[in-house]
Amino acid sequence: MLRFEKRDKTPIQLRVLVPICSVLLGLLMGSVVMLFAHVNPLRVYGAIVKGAFGSAYTFSETLVIAVPLILMSVGLCLVYRMKFFNIGAKGQYIIGAICGSYLALFGPATMSRPLLLTLMMVLGTLGGALWAIIPALLKVYWNVNEVIVTLLLNYIASYILWFFMYGTWGTRGFPLSKNFALNAQLPRILPPPSRLHIGLFFGLAAAVIIWIIIRKTRFGYETRVLGENERAARYAGINVFKTVIIAAVISGGLAGLAGIAHTSAVLRVLQLEINSDYGYTAIIAAWLAGLDPLVAVGISVLLAALEAGGYQIQIVMRVPFGIVGVIESSILFCLLAGEIVTHYRVILTRRLSTPPGSTPRIGKKCSVALDERARGGA
């Protein structure tokens, strides 16, 4: 029989070993499927690694995907600690991209590049924050479930983007804005063709700042108490209203920043497909990182590598695209399943030989001792 017992504290070895084993198990599962598809799994995995880390260019492209993941996942680490389950990073990312792009497309053409870019980033951040305030307010005033609200706001955000792209922001009937002027393009940090941009520094800075907030500040402590027990938090004099709103604003703001940074630096045009699904990947990244913002940086890079390498194997190995999905989902599946082992002690017990209700057998050693005591007493 299997029994699960919640751990008080997860040993550090498990925190490291379990994810590694989960990934390997996922790779094994993927291999089985590949063998059925008559593809050599080792060569495919080799190609993924090579496609994600093989050269300076491919690694920089992996980081291009990692940047929005980092920005969003570190923000999620903060709110998830508070048990405010913001599923809406996608929507906040889209609104951020729309708000920032407004300046890029319709702002004064003569504005200097640093000023325009700063304003774009600020506006994008504010847009994302605004989109996150809605569920936060609903939560603190009427206790409306934030999972539902943030999830549904994702769809609304998507349709707002549709509205603008098929409306006056599109060109000649196509859902594609005019190209961003040079002034509105966030600088890239490596020579072309690399598209890695200074958003990477935003992401790393955000991770460090959030880490400090969580570990070293009163506010970070308050979010954690709030997550553990809201009532206790109220008794302790924590301003729940303020704490929830501020945390939601930080998380939404970072997602908004991710949206406008990716749009302005990588796409350089506003369109329907702006990779907003990274908002869902970021949730997985935050969760796998155990809500630690610094770990989330590493996990984001790994998930980005999986995506970048996944597209690459189509080209190099000529395997069907479905294989990529199978590999990615088996790894994620095993990683999430592995979480059970890190958070719970799995105890394998023999079938109880005594019916429930009678004296439980505690263990061989103890029962021997009991027997002896019984004999001694006789």
Partner 1 sequence: MKFLRISLVVLLAIAFVVGSTGCKTAATPTPTPTPTPAPAAKKLKVAFVYVGPHNDGGYSQAHEDGRLYLQQNDPNVETTYAESIPEGSQSEKTFRDYASAGYDLVFGTSFGFMDAMVNAAKDNPTTKFMHASGYKRSDNLGTYFGRMEQPDYLSGLIAGKMTKTNKIGFVLPFSIPECIREVDAFTVGLREVNPKATVTVVYTNSWFDPAKEGDSAKSLLNKGCDIIVSGVDSPAPLDAAFKAGKYGIGYDMDMAAGMKTPEEAKSVLTSRIWHWGPYYLKVAQSVEDGTWKSGDYWGGMADGIVDIAPVSSAVPQAVIDYVNTRKQLILDGKYTPFDGPMVNQAGKVIVPKGTTMSDADQLNLQWFVQGVIGAIPKSGS
Identify the bridge partners of residue 4 per DSSP, sorted by sequence position.
346
Distance of alpha carbon 314 from alpha carbon 293, whole angstroms: 32
For partner 1, the closer CB: 65 or 238: 65
Binding residues for partner 1, rule: CB under 8 A, are 17, 20-21, 24-25, 27-28, 42-43, 45-47, 49-50, 54, 61, 64-65, 162-163, 166-176, 179, 192-193, 195, 262, 266-269, 271-275, 308, 311-312, 314-318, 320-321, 341, 345-348
Distance of alpha carbon 97 from alpha carbon 87, whole angstroms: 18
For partner 1, the closer CB: 73 or 177: 177
Mutual orientation of helices 199-216 and 56-81 as an angle, nearest 10°? 30
Find the shortest distance in angstroms from Cβ 200 to partner 1.
Answer: 15
Find the shortest distance in angstroms from Cβ 280 to partner 1.
Answer: 14
Distance of alpha carbon 301 from alpha carbon 314, whole angstroms: 20
The amino acid at residue 92 is Q
For partner 1, the closer CB: 90 or 262: 262
Torsion of CA 19, 22, 24, 28, to 10 degrees: -170
Identify the bridge partners of residue 356 per DSSP, sorted by sequence position.
358
Sign of CA dihedral 283, 316, 274, 253: positive
Distance of alpha carbon 66 from alpha carbon 72, whole angstroms: 10
For partner 1, the closer CB: 122 or 179: 179
Find the shortest distance in angstroms from Cβ 275 to partner 1.
Answer: 4
The amino acid at residue 237 is G
For partner 1, the closer CB: 6 or 218: 6
Q: 193: cis peptide before it, omega within 30°?
A: yes
CA 363 to chain centre: 43
Distance of alpha carbon 72 from alpha carbon 157, whole angstroms: 16
Are 262 and 274 in contact, with CB atoms under 8 Å apart? yes
Find the shortest distance in angstroms from Cβ 32 to partner 1.
Answer: 13
Find the shortest distance in angstroms from Cβ 108 to partner 1.
Answer: 18
For partner 1, the closer CB: 46 or 227: 46
What's the length of the chain?
Answer: 378
Find the shortest distance in angstroms from Cβ 142 to partner 1.
Answer: 32
For partner 1, the closer CB: 55 or 239: 55
For partner 1, the closer CB: 47 or 74: 47
Find the shortest distance in angstroms from Cβ 279 to partner 1.
Answer: 13
Are 293 and 222 in contact, with CB atoms under 8 Å apart? no
Distance of alpha carbon 277 from alpha carbon 255, whole angstroms: 12
Distance of alpha carbon 191 from alpha carbon 189, whole angstroms: 7
SS3 346: strand
Find the shortest distance in angstroms from Cβ 103 to partner 1.
Answer: 16
For partner 1, the closer CB: 57 or 85: 57
For partner 1, the closer CB: 30 or 293: 30
Find the shortest distance in angstroms from Cβ 166 to partner 1.
Answer: 4
Find the shortest distance in angstroms from Cβ 95 to partner 1.
Answer: 17
Residue entry with tokens 């006789």: 378
